Amino acid sequence: MTQMLQKADELRRNGQYEEARELYQQVVADEPGEPLGWWGLAHVVMNQGDFELAGECFRRAAELAPNHQRILYDWAMLYTMLGEYDAARPLFEKVVAIDRSSKEAADAQKQLTYY
């Protein structure tokens, strides 16, 4: 992971979304194939209220890392938050199918009980 991505993650975790967004945007401009750059950017813009862009960023991250459970789970949670349960369900199901023994799978299985 690049130093810039690490710094962006740190800023995001500390709630410094504008600063983190600038760094994530630089990461994905420099390394458009870096799924964690897109994932981090998705979280930042989601926290800034841009849910459409967050969905696009999660989609891009998932295209780059189609079996990354955290990316898929977080994308599904965005859909859940927006009340788009039909879009969330297959993502949760995929998280479970990838590795049933992971924390993400347990969390996804719990979410699936609500549908």
Looking up residue 3, the CATH number of its domain turns out to be: 1.25.40.10
pTM of the model: 0.94
- Is the domain of 84 the same as that of 52? no
- Is the domain of 52 the same as that of 30? yes
Domain count for the chain, please give it. 2
**Each residue of 53-70: pLDDT tens digit?**
999 999 999 999 999 999
CB-count exposure of residue 7 (10 Å: 0-12, 13-18, 19+): middle
Domain boundary among 25, 43, 65: 65
> What residues make up the domain containing 94?
72-115
C-alpha dihedral (1, 68, 63, 54), degrees to nearest 10? -80
- Is the domain of 56 the same as that of 97? no
- Is the domain of 1 the same as that of 55? yes
- Is the domain of 10 the same as that of 50? yes
- Is the domain of 61 the same as that of 78? no
- Is the domain of 60 the same as that of 20? yes
Give the pLDDT score at 70. Answer: 98
Categorise residue 102: left if φ over 0, alpha if ψ from -120 to 50, beta otherwise: beta
User: What secondary structure does DSSP assign to 37-98, as a single string?
Assistant: HHHHHHHHHHHTT-HHHHHHHHHHHHHHSTT-HHHHHHHHHHHHHTT-HHHHHHHHHHHHHH
- Is the domain of 58 the same as that of 113? no
- Is the domain of 39 the same as that of 89? no
Q: Is the pLDDT of residue 1 over 80?
A: no
**Each residue of 17-62: pLDDT tens digit?**
999 999 999 999 999 999 999 999 999 999 999 999 999 999 999 9
